[in-house]
Amino acid sequence: MIDLNTESTVYHQGADRSLVILYVHGSDSRDYLQRMVSCDLARISPEQGSRGTLLDGKGRIQAVFDLLQWNDGFLLVTGEQESTALKSRLESMVILEDVEIETDSHIWLHLHGAGAPQRMLELGYAGTGAFLATTPTDEALLVFRPRFHPQGYDLLVTADHGEALASSLAEMGEVATEKLREEGRILLGMPKSGAEMGERTLPPEVGLGDAVAYDKGCYAGQEVLARIRTYGHVNREIRRLDFTADMESTGPAVGDDLWPVDGGEKPIGKITSVTPTPTGWAAIASLRYKFLKDADAGSDADAGSDAEAGSDAEAGSDAEAGSKVVWNRGGDPELIGALKPVYSPQPQES
């Protein structure tokens, strides 16, 4: 296992081009996208982007993307499989608008690791540390975008300059293998299509609150999400988990059930992604909302009692149990996982 946290460590994605860039431009492109996607384009500028989603009428995710402004248009960075549905939907709704959509005009490159900020400064990055802060240059859009490490940057480059910049990045660091990138994604707590996200997933279930604007004009799925936000809640949410274990023992796998520490009769969630770590295992899991609500309530109560002299030790024990889950209950080995938050920038809604 490679240490990504040494001061000079830098990795690039090598030949991986699994993310696709849609270039949407034309005089009506901003207004058109504002009607089509869940994020608010009023918050997007040449210096700041946003995550967004394309939803169906029931608020379910059809595609997740980063939406960034560059020159006279917008770049939507998304997965290869999602790009087909996204492009098809966007093209199908263009009637008289001056909007064009291209998929072969730009290339995605990525640099990450503890040494990446210095390398990006050398390339001209002048943005802030805010998620999706951007710096446009003549040849590329430089974006602060953690994907596999807290210090991660996308470089979105025009196709005619792509190979030259990729060669420059190759000289700055080593190739991050698919295994290493997946490990980094899970440790960071980033949801992934096909793992945490499926055909029926709602944005609030997977930490995509920053991708949804509730205070702009209508778009597909907005009414459903607004009702959930105002009157209810989603049934599940994702969390990071850390398991401490002997690496020679059997570990958790995708699809395994998770149980409450207090001995409840039903599972409270399932593992959606997992990777070995130097101290055991790290995972992302989809957990029942009620369990998470009770865990949060227990933590709040415990914090309040600790502030008073003579706090109740039993209450503290209950709160601690609520912030943990059990894998392989009653088996050998039986592992206890500690709940951690997933990666989440500041939400759009106030």
As a whole number, mean pLDDT of residues 51-75 equals 96
Per-residue confidence band for 148, with pLDDT thresholds at 50, 70 and 90: very high
Residue 6 domain-assigned?
no
Position 262 scores a pLDDT of 86
245 and 330 in a single domain? The answer is yes
Residue 303 domain-assigned?
yes
183 and 248 in a single domain? The answer is no
Listed residues 188, 206, 224: the one ending a domain: 188
Q: Which domain holds residue 48?
A: 11-188
> pLDDT tens digits, residue range 254-285?
999 999 998 888 999 999 999 999 999 999 99
Listed residues 188, 223, 253: the one ending a domain: 188
41 and 119 in a single domain? The answer is yes
> Shortest CA distance to 4 belongs to which of 188, 197, 149, 193?
149
Residue 207 domain-assigned?
no
As a whole number, mean pLDDT of residues 63-90 equals 95
Q: Give the CA-trace dihedral at 130, 285, 206, 343, to 10 degrees.
A: 0
Residue 32 domain-assigned?
yes
Listed residues 125, 155, 188: the one ending a domain: 188
CATH number, domain with residue 302: 2.40.30.110
320 and 175 in a single domain? The answer is no
Residue 213 domain-assigned?
no
- Give the integer Cα–Cα distance in Å for 274 and 242: 10
CATH number, domain with residue 46: 3.30.1360.120
pLDDT of 321 strictly over 90: no
146 and 73 in a single domain? The answer is yes
- Give the integer Cα–Cα distance in Å for 155 and 44: 18
241 and 115 in a single domain? The answer is no
> pLDDT tens digits, residue range 127-143?
888 999 999 988 899 99
163 and 73 in a single domain? The answer is yes
247 and 160 in a single domain? The answer is no
Position 345 scores a pLDDT of 86
174 and 241 in a single domain? The answer is no
104 and 164 in a single domain? The answer is yes
245 and 129 in a single domain? The answer is no
As a whole number, mean pLDDT of residues 61-69 equals 97
Position 156 scores a pLDDT of 97
> pLDDT tens digits, residue range 222-254?
999 999 989 889 999 999 999 998 767 789 999
Per-residue confidence band for 319, with pLDDT thresholds at 50, 70 and 90: very low
Per-residue confidence band for 125, with pLDDT thresholds at 50, 70 and 90: very high
Q: Which residues contact 189 (CB under 8 A, 6 or more apart)?
A: 207, 238, 239, 240, 284, 340, 341, 342, 343
Counted domains in the chain: 2
pLDDT of 15 strictly over 90: no
286 and 173 in a single domain? The answer is no
148 vs 5, more confident: 148
> pLDDT tens digits, residue range 287-315?
999 999 988 775 555 544 444 544 444 44
> pLDDT tens digits, residue range 158-193?
999 999 999 999 999 999 999 999 999 999 999 999
As a whole number, mean pLDDT of residues 50-73 equals 96
Residue 219 domain-assigned?
no
As a whole number, mean pLDDT of residues 3-31 equals 87
Q: Residue 339 is encoded by which pair of tokens?
A: 């709940």
Q: Residue 337 is encoded by which pair of tokens?
A: 């996982």
